[in-house]
DNA sequence: TCAATTTAAATTGTATCAAATCTAATATTC
DNA sequence: GAATATTAGATTTGATACAATTTAAATTGA
């Protein structure tokens, strides 16, 4: 069943391909709202917990300010978030959803319904196993990263 | 054990994060040879089978000419490949490894040894299961892509 | 056969990514 | 408490991704 003769390269290629193909499926549907997949990810994080620091968003998505700063400025330009430099610590910027930004949640949910249905646990029970292994790999990789 | 309450979004985020973190680990080591990860992927494909069409490389990596043409021109600029327009079908270009391009294989293998060791099946038997599920997901996604 | 269609690459334009550097603000340490 | 170090974001730069368009060549079908 499983491939017992594989390399880190093969694993990386599987991850790289699967990742991009799935993101493409999101992107196709998000186009209608003129949202990119990374922009949607950031909004998703904020729908869970509003007012996060740029730093905190970066930790959740494994992205740094080099990616997030221009992305957040675009979201601000579309009036979906506000970027506020904090008084307590002037180095930090926290991100607040605007009303239009909050409203997007239900719109994207509707838009992405077919995708959620196709990749539901009910349709594909093995996906929850896959997700579990992925999170485990993520954990291993973070500790590997700090050691090497 | 597994997460029975997850969404396509969570799966995509796991894939997206794991993919980028693993690629980063490759990239760190490839820097020594001034190679990027996608460039290394293309070379890996050619080490398996030399003389492939741009098209064919694209199929293996799920990349199109928009990404591959400039990448291949860079590899050609570094004298690792030659790009030859075919006489039989002038629309196609096949990619041949040069001698320096072939020589890179052993150099990268040496460079990436620590990574291959850390992500070997012996170290992590569950990775072969993960890779298996990823390939299955890839297959599902390709057919889903053609239907939607 | 030859006009219409399809195909393979190349090109163009927008948006990431990530390493490296920079700036300003806060923490630390002697 | 002033010099040093650290931290959070912003900026810069180079290299993808990928959709859309273009171009040239090959294929098809009436």
Express each pLDDT in B47-81 by its tens digit: 999 999 999 999 999 999 999 999 999 999 999 99
Nearest residue on chain A to B115, alpha-carbon basis = A8
Give me the residue spans of the domains in chain B: 9-111, 112-148
Q: Please say if the pLDDT value at position A123 is more than 80.
A: no
What does the alpha-carbon distance between residue A55 and residue B23 come to, in Å, rounded to a whole number?
Answer: 22
Q: Which residues pair with A96 in a beta bridge?
A: A82
Q: Is the CB of A55 under 7 A from strand C?
A: no
Percent of chain B with pLDDT over 70: 96
pLDDT at A102: 97
pLDDT at A148: 63
- Residue A102 CA to its chain's centroid (Å): 17
Q: Please say if the pLDDT value at position A47 is more than 90.
A: yes
What does the alpha-carbon distance between residue A101 and residue A72 come to, in Å, rounded to a whole number?
Answer: 12
Give contacts of A9 with chain B, Cβ < 8 Å.
Answer: 26, 44, 112, 116
What does the alpha-carbon distance between residue A14 and residue B85 come to, in Å, rounded to a whole number?
Answer: 30
User: Rg of chain B's alpha carbons, rounded to an integer?
Assistant: 18
pLDDT at A147: 72
What does the alpha-carbon distance between residue A104 and residue A44 come to, in Å, rounded to a whole number?
Answer: 10
User: What is the average pLDDT score of chain A?
Assistant: 92
Q: Please say if the pLDDT value at position A4 is more than 80.
A: no
**Minimal Cα–Cα distance from A101 to chain B, Å?**
18
What does the alpha-carbon distance between residue A137 and residue B131 come to, in Å, rounded to a whole number?
Answer: 11
Where is pLDDT greater, at B84 or A141?
Answer: B84
Percent of chain A with pLDDT over 70: 96
pLDDT at B5: 55
Are A3 and B132 an interchain contact pair (Cβ–Cβ within 8 Å)? yes
CATH 1.20.1640.10 fits B9-111, yes or no: no
Our measurement of CA B57 to C1' C16, in angstroms, reads: 23
Q: Given pLDDT bands bounded at 50, 70 and 90, which one contains residue A138? A: very high
Q: Please say if the pLDDT value at position B3 is more than 60.
A: no
Q: Helices (DSSP H) in B31-98: which residue ranges?
A: 37-48, 54-61, 65-77
Nearest residue on chain B to A137, alpha-carbon basis = B18
Task: Record the tokens describing residue B98, joined without a space.
Answer: 């040069």
Topology adopted by domain A16-111: Arc Repressor Mutant, subunit A (1.10.10)
Q: Please say if the pLDDT value at position B1 is more than 70.
A: no
Q: Please say if the pLDDT value at position A1 is more than 50.
A: no
pLDDT at B65: 97
Complex confidence, ipTM:
0.93
Express each pLDDT in A70-79 by its tens digit: 999 999 999 9
């Amino acid at each position: 069943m499983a491939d017992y003769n594989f390399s880190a390269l093969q694993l990386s290629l599987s991850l790289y391909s699967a990742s991009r193909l799935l993101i493409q499926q999101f992107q196709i549907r998000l186009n209608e709202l003129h949202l990119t997949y990374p922009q949607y990810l950031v909004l998703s994080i904020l729908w869970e917990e509003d007012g996060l620091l740029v730093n905190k968003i970066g930790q959740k998505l494994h992205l740094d300010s080099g990616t997030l700063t221009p992305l957040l400025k675009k979201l601000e330009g579309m009036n979906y978030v506000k970027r506020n430099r904090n008084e307590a610590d002037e180095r930090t910027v926290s991100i607040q959803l605007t009303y239009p930004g909050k409203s997007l949640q239900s719109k994207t949910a509707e838009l992405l319904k077919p995708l959620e249905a196709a990749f539901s646990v009910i349709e594909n029970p093995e996906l929850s196993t896959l997700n579990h292994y992925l999170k485990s790999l993520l954990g291993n990789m973070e500790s590997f990263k700090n050691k090497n």
